[in-house]
A = this chain, B = another copy of it.
């Protein structure tokens, strides 16, 4: 079964086109997770892994995917990256699709190094091994143009992996670059959508969807509707829900009538919803319950909004 079909199947099984962002912001994690460790790069990285395991346990069976944002691991250097690798492994062992938010981009053999390292295989001196990350999906920035995307797409096809190419990000300042127009009058977002659609149609699964996907923010519902039309087979990764201001109604246009075609991310809204009722002194048990509850609330909100708009949805 292809990756994209696995994702679709799990979305339907959970009735949750939802991905939980694993963004370990040290200042916002309950104190309890640091109790066993010293204040070193290694200690904090170990605490982050314990924290992530509890989040993953708390959402098991509720959502199909998790999305670690590598910036929050990379900032602790090699110790942080080791924690990232362990987190990805733990999530995969629990059956989650793992989406790395890395927004990587480059050209030629550098782009290939990113693609192989995060998604594919890497050549050591005389042998080839699975990449140390071995993730399912990676977010990719397209600032260097189509030729910077090709090495990633090539690796997706070779190893049945996926990418979400930034097309319309959730932040207001995106317009400086993403609304600029080509001489043919297409915006950068539209030109990217057209390119992605072509690539996605060349690599679809039995579900009719493709793991050559796009990032489309929840904060611009009108653009999202047009982009949905322009990229019917691509899965959208939808940031901007919750803490960034997007609501359940806003994400509806990111979906097709079958209720598929997008996964909506929430990070802070789930990971740090515990702060208001409990504060940093929260116990680990309270913390896990809070994560479970916030995820269930998000699932219900999005599922209800989709049901109301798409009577033909298939789950």
- List the interface of chain A (C-beta within 8 A of B): 23, 25-27, 34, 37, 39-41, 43-44, 47, 69, 71-72, 74-82, 84-85, 101, 103-111, 113-114, 116-118, 122-127, 129, 131-133, 141-148, 166, 169, 171-182, 187-188, 191-192
Query: Across the interface, do A25 and B109 meet the contact criterion of CB distance under 8 Å?
Result: yes
Instruction: Give, as a whole number of angstroms, the nearest-CB distance from A186 to chain B.
Output: 8
Given A75-B122, A81-B81, A123-B27, also A132-B181 (CB < 8 A): no
Query: Across the interface, do A47 and B107 meet the contact criterion of CB distance under 8 Å?
Result: no
Query: Across the interface, do B113 and A71 meet the contact criterion of CB distance under 8 Å?
Result: yes
Write out the residue numbers on chain B whose beta carbons fall within 8 Å of the beta carbon of A142: 143, 176-177
5 additional A-B residue pairs with CB within 8 Å, beyond A78-B84, A79-B132, A143-B143? A39-B126, A72-B113, A75-B122, A78-B82, A176-B182
Report how far A192 CA is from B173 CA in the complex, Å. 13
Query: Across the interface, do A171 and B144 meet the contact criterion of CB distance under 8 Å?
Result: yes
Given A141-B143, A180-B180, also A117-B75 (CB < 8 A): yes
Write out the residue numbers on chain B whose beta carbons fall within 8 Å of the beta carbon of A178: 143, 145
Query: Across the interface, do A171 and B145 meet the contact criterion of CB distance under 8 Å?
Result: yes
Instruction: Give, as a whole number of angstroms, the nearest-CB distance from A142 to chain B.
Output: 6
The 10 A-B residue pairs with the shortest CB-CB distance in the complex, in nearest-first order: A77-B132, A75-B117, A145-B173, A180-B180, A147-B173, A78-B82, A145-B176, A71-B113, A78-B81, A39-B124
Instruction: Give, as a whole number of angstroms, the nearest-CB distance from A290 to chain B.
Output: 20
Report how far A109 CA is from B124 CA in the complex, Å. 35
Query: Across the interface, do B109 and A106 meet the contact criterion of CB distance under 8 Å?
Result: no
Could you jot down 20 A-B contacts, CB within 8 Å? A41-B124, A71-B104, A74-B113, A75-B122, A77-B82, A77-B133, A78-B82, A81-B81, A107-B171, A141-B143, A143-B177, A144-B169, A144-B171, A144-B174, A145-B174, A145-B178, A177-B177, A179-B182, A180-B180, A181-B181
Closest to A124 in B: B39
Write out the residue numbers on chain B whose beta carbons fall within 8 Å of the beta carbon of A129: 41
Closest to A84 in B: B78
Report how far A84 CA is from B81 CA in the complex, Å. 12
Query: Across the interface, do A105 and B107 meet the contact criterion of CB distance under 8 Å?
Result: no
